[in-house]
């Protein structure tokens, strides 16, 4: 009896393991079937390139709403299943610069009833590599946050998603934000490597973190303003200078919180918000005066924030 029970349990375990192996092999996710891709604009200039096999990825240009794209990618088929039909689809609007959706780059891989003007391409699952180029256009919709746009999806015979290609779409303001953020993050690492004052590094990190939070809320203009206040020409190293920067953290975060509140709540409780901003302006005036004795660049940045807040309250 024990032997029979053990055999049943063993069979059950092997079945589960086999099922898990199959589902992991046929799982959904970038790189499972589509092993590499590159995105170019209508002029043939590289925008993004990803290779899942080597782990290499680079972004050369940002992708904006309305952008014309040419996406060249490789579908790698490991096993032949002669009766299985796979298909590629795109939901992108048709390109305004190309008269087809698809162009087959690889030679010798047979497609099924191929029509380059159709948004779908079908083919039998035959071992090998299929290289295709998709021509399409990002919808020209106004966006407040970065969005993940699916440009190509590979479907299985039952309509299940096997793999896809997604690109991040931003507007011009977000593109500016990401450029500044990259600079500030590089600078932060440089500060840590050079042994700048711990208090200043903590301030820097707090402001970068808060700027990211504002960008996530869609308040990109506020995020850019916060990052720009970090343009300091000489990083502090003495402990007495650190004391100057800790009030700056509180004020910058308070300012961003007020701007976020206004962004989310619109005109609600506006009188209270204006009073809070006026208090922040007074604090900024004192901080700007002290900052001018240490670093003119920071003083100028704080002055810009102060003037911006004054314009909000009409002072």
* Domain final position from 152, 169, 186: 169
Same domain, 41 and 164: yes
d(CA 141, CA 82): 42
Same domain, 94 and 218: no
**Which residues are within 8 A (CB) of 91 and not within 5 positions of it... i.e. 6 or more apart?**
119, 150, 153
Residue 1 within a domain: no
Same domain, 210 and 137: no
Residue 153 within a domain: yes
Residue 157 within a domain: yes
d(CA 262, CA 258): 6
d(CA 145, CA 307): 27
Same domain, 33 and 161: yes
pLDDT tens profile 15-34? 333 333 333 333 345 678 99
d(CA 276, CA 256): 12
d(CA 250, CA 229): 13
Same domain, 210 and 82: no
Range of the domain at 149: 28-169
Same domain, 202 and 137: no
**Which residues are within 8 A (CB) of 155 and not within 5 positions of it... i.e. 6 or more apart?**
86, 87, 88, 89, 161, 162
d(CA 279, CA 282): 5
Q: Which residue has the higher pLDDT, 191 or 72?
A: 72
pLDDT tens profile 174-215? 999 999 999 999 988 988 888 877 877 887 888 888 888 888
Give me the torsion for CA of 253, 255, 258, 260, rounded to 10°. -70
pLDDT tens profile 265-310? 544 445 555 565 566 666 666 656 655 655 565 666 666 666 666 6
Pairing of the two strands 56-59 and 147-155: unpaired
Same domain, 220 and 148: no
Quick one: tokens of 108? 């010798």
pLDDT band at 140 (very low <50, low <70, confident <90, very high): very high
pLDDT tens profile 155-180? 999 999 999 999 999 999 999 999 99
pLDDT score, position 292: 61
Residue 134 within a domain: yes
Same domain, 145 and 178: no
Position 228 pLDDT exceeds 60: yes
Please say whether the beta carbons of 174 and 38 come within 8 A.
no
CATH code for the domain of 107: 2.60.40
Number of structural domains, the chain? 2
Maximum alpha-carbon separation in the chain: 89
d(CA 294, CA 122): 67
Same domain, 197 and 251: yes
Residue 23 within a domain: no
Give me the torsion for CA of 282, 287, 293, 296, rounded to 10°. -90
pLDDT band at 238 (very low <50, low <70, confident <90, very high): very low
Quick one: tokens of 23? 């589902």
pLDDT tens profile 91-125? 999 999 999 999 999 988 999 999 999 999 999 99
Position 247 pLDDT exceeds 60: no
* Domain final position from 119, 137, 169: 169
d(CA 31, CA 28): 9
* Domain final position from 138, 169, 200: 169
Residue 44 within a domain: yes
Residue 187 within a domain: yes
Same domain, 164 and 182: no
């Amino acid at each position: 009896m024990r032997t029979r029970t053990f055999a049943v349990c063993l069979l059950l375990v092997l079945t589960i393991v086999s099922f898990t192996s199959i589902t992991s092999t046929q799982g959904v996710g970038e790189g499972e079937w589509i092993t590499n891709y590159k995105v170019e604009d209508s002029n043939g200039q590289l925008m993004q390139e990803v290779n899942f096999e080597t782990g290499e990825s680079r972004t050369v240009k940002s992708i904006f709403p309305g952008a014309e794209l040419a996406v060249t990618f490789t579908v790698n088929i490991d096993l032949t299943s002669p009766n299985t039909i796979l298909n590629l689809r795109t939901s992108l609007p048709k390109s305004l610069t190309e008269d087809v959706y698809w162009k087959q780059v690889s030679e010798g891989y047979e497609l099924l009833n191929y029509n380059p003007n159709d948004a779908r391409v079908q083919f039998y699952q035959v071992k090998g590599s299929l290289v295709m180029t998709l021509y399409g256009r990002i919808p020209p919709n106004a966006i407040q946050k970065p969005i993940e746009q699916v440009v190509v999806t590979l479907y299985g015979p039952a309509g299940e998603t096997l793999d896809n290609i997604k690109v991040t779409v931003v507007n011009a303001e977000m593109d500016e934000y990401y450029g500044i953020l990259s600079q500030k993050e590089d600078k932060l690492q440089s500060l840590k490597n050079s042994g700048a004052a711990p208090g200043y590094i903590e301030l820097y990190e707090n402001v970068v973190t808060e700027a990211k939070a504002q960008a996530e809320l869609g308040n990109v203009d506020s995020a850019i303003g916060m990052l720009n206040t970090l343009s300091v020409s000489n990083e502090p190293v003495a402990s007495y200078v650190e004391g100057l920067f800790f009030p700056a953290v509180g004020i910058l975060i308070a300012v961003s919180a007020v701007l976020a509140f206004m962004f989310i709540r619109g005109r609600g409780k506006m009188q209270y918000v204006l009073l809070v901003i006026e208090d922040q302006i007074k604090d900024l005036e004192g901080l700007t005066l002290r900052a001018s004795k240490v670093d003119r660049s920071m003083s100028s940045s704080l002055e810009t924030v102060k003037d911006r807040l004054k314009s909000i309250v009409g002072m």
